[in-house]
């Protein structure tokens, strides 16, 4: 269960990175757009592993 809580913190951090970099990208910062896309890919991978941990914790 502790591992799941830590993992949720990592997911929240990545979500914040996507949000802040996307806002900068909308203001014209192209590098921020690339960072947002990179963070979104990492977020997708983390969410897949989160599903695995969640199922494991509920068994």
Cα dihedral 31→35→18→15 (10° resolution): -160
User: Exposure pattern of 13-29 as b/e (b: 16+ CB <10 Å)?
Assistant: ebeebbeebbeebeeee
Asked if residue 1 has pLDDT above 90, the reply is no
Domain of residue 37 covers 2-57
Total-model pTM: 0.82
pLDDT tens for 23-58 read 999 999 999 999 999 999 999 999 999 999 888 888
Count the helices and strands in the chain (H runs, E runs). 2, 0
What total number of domains does the chain contain?
1
Segment 19-26 shows an average pLDDT of 98
Segment 17-27 shows an average pLDDT of 98
């Amino acid at each position: 269960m502790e591992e799941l809580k830590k993992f949720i913190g990592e997911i929240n951090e990545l979500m914040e990175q996507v949000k802040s970099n996307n806002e900068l990208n909308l203001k014209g910062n192209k590098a921020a757009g690339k960072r947002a896309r990179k963070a979104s890919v990492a977020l997708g991978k983390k969410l897949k592993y989160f599903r695995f941990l969640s199922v494991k914790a509920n068994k």
